[in-house]
Structure 1
Amino acid sequence: MSETTTVVVGRIGKPHGIKGEVSVELRTDEPERRFAPGERLVAEDSGRTFVVAGYRWHQGRLLVRFDGLGDRTAAEAARGSMLTALVDPAELPEEQDAYYDRQLVGLRVLAADGTQAGEVTFVVHLPAQDLLEIRTPEGDRLVPFVSALVPTVDLAAGTLTLADMEGLLDDLDAPAEDDGPGPERGSDDA
């Protein structure tokens, strides 16, 4: 049996209707994959197993039917359960050049010249783009996770390489270098 990793995929929300269907607050970018009929999900708190019987989209929300949740009372009892899935750690997202957070966290960060610059400690998801939190000897830094700044991700080697861009891992609030005296100011004692 191959090793697996547990990932959170959603949280059971309010019941929908009287036949046990529930809304699910998603924690995955791949709901069609994680909530496909026959998928087995486990409640994080109780260890209860939920087998997906089917799903559909309704007004922008995912509605799921689970085996064993046959009525509104059973659905209400499951409300709030955080659902997890067991996945192969080597599994990649269906989208090309996409990665799961669990695959990025822990990667060694290399500068363009190949020297080690730090380690990825967290992935921040923002509406415009994702940011990699990188622990460096000087402290934590945030780097936009875009191909122009992170041209290479090598999961097999356990590394990602940053673009050759001056200041990419520098402090934003570091004092500017002194370029000599500034312009002379007049006195207010006129």
Structure 2
Amino acid sequence: MEWFNVGRIVNTHGIRGEVRVISTTDFEETRFAIGNKLAVFKKDDKRPIWVTIESARRHKNFILLTFEGLNNINLVEPFKEGLLKVSKDQLADDELDENEYYHFEIKDCEVYSEEGELIGVVSDILETGANDVWEITAKGKKHYIPYIADVVKEIDVDEKKIIIHVMEGLL
């Protein structure tokens, strides 16, 4: 099964089983909704422990969660430094807008010019605030392509192929 990180449990909070989570998801509203199921991967364990969210609230830079049936610090203490993940099936529930993609769908795509010339492969995605910037690696060199309509013309995640308009000075 393929897993995707949505948060990291950094500590417990209080004595009633609350955990302090650093979120790594763009879908906090749905990921941490009451009744949602998440898999906890303890620090050195490869097997998930499924939990159901009982409560969620924001506190400073963290999200504080409690899980059904785990309302005591001793029950959640072993989760410290663990990862919260969702399965690939759970991603289907997300409401992605048109022209929005998961990073895993874009990474490793081959990038071509409009003329059909292979430019390279998406090796990383940088979140800059205004728009994402894709790091393209080609023959050991790195190029940075902004994910904007003027540049990115076509994305086919099934074929792992992206077509871009190569503006002057882009590469």
Tell me the TM-score normalised to structure 1 length.
0.75
Of stretches 70-79 and 107-116 in structure 1, the one that deviates more from structure 2 is: 70-79
**Does the CA contact (< 8 Å) of 1:50 and 1:67 recur in 2?**
no
Aligned partners of 1:146, 1:85: CA distance in 2, in Å?
A: 29
Residues 67 and 50 (structure 1), Cα distance of their counterparts in 2 relative to 1, 3 Å cut = farther
1:12–1:23: 8 Å Cα contact kept in structure 2?
yes
| CA distance in structure 2 between the aligned counterparts of 1:123 and 1:137, rounded to whole angstroms | 18
Structure with bigger strand share is 2
Unaligned runs of 5+ in 1: 170-190
Match of 1:179 in 2: none
Distance 2:90 2:143 in 1: 26
- Greater displacement, 5-14 / 120-129: 120-129
1:176 corresponds to: none
How far apart, CA to CA, are the structure 1 residues paired with 2:93 and 2:53?
25
Task: Show the counterpart of 1:72.
Answer: 73
Q: State the partner residue of 2:52.
A: 52
TM-score between both structures, scaled by the size of structure 2: 0.82
Q: Aligned AA for 2:79?
A: A
- Cα distance between partner residues in 2 of 1:42 and 1:108: 33
The letter for the 2-side match of 1:67 is E
Aligned to 2:163: 161
State whether residues 125 and 134 of structure 2, in contact with CA within 8 Å, keep that contact through their aligned partners in structure 1: yes
Matches within 5 A, 1:80-159: 80-88=81-89, 91=92, 93-96=94-97, 97-137=99-139, 139-159=141-161
- Counterpart in the other structure of 1:22: 19
Task: Work out which structure has the larger RCO, using CA pairs closer than 8 Å and 6 or more positions apart in sequence.
Answer: 2
2:63 corresponds in structure 1 to 62
CA distance in 1, matches of 2:53, 2:120: 44
Indicate the SS of the match to 1:32.
helix
Cα gap change, 1:34/1:105 in structure 2, threshold over 3 Å: closer, same or farther? same
Deviations 1:77-115 (A, max 9, x none): 321112222114984852312111110011110102222
Structure 1's 163 and 90: CA in aligned 2 closer, same or farther, altered over 3 A? farther
User: CA contact under 8 A between 2:54 and 2:68: conserved in structure 1?
Assistant: no
Bigger radius of gyration among the two: 1
Measured in 2, the distance between the counterparts of 1:152 and 1:91 equals: 22
The percentage of aligned residue pairs carrying the same residue is 28
Structure 1 residues 90, 81: CA separation in 2 closer, same or farther (over 3 Å shift)?
A: closer
Amino acid at match of 1:122: D
5+ residue gaps in structure 2? none
The structural deviation recorded for 1:118 is 1.1
Q: Distance in 1 between matches of 2:111 and 2:70?
A: 46
Q: Give 1:146 deviation, angstroms.
A: 1.9
State the one-letter code of the partner of 1:19.
R
Select 1:32's aligned residue among 29, 32, 43: 29
Look up the SS of the partner of 1:148 in the other structure. coil
Q: Mark the CA change 1:90 to 1:24 in structure 2 (over 3 Å): closer, same or farther.
A: closer
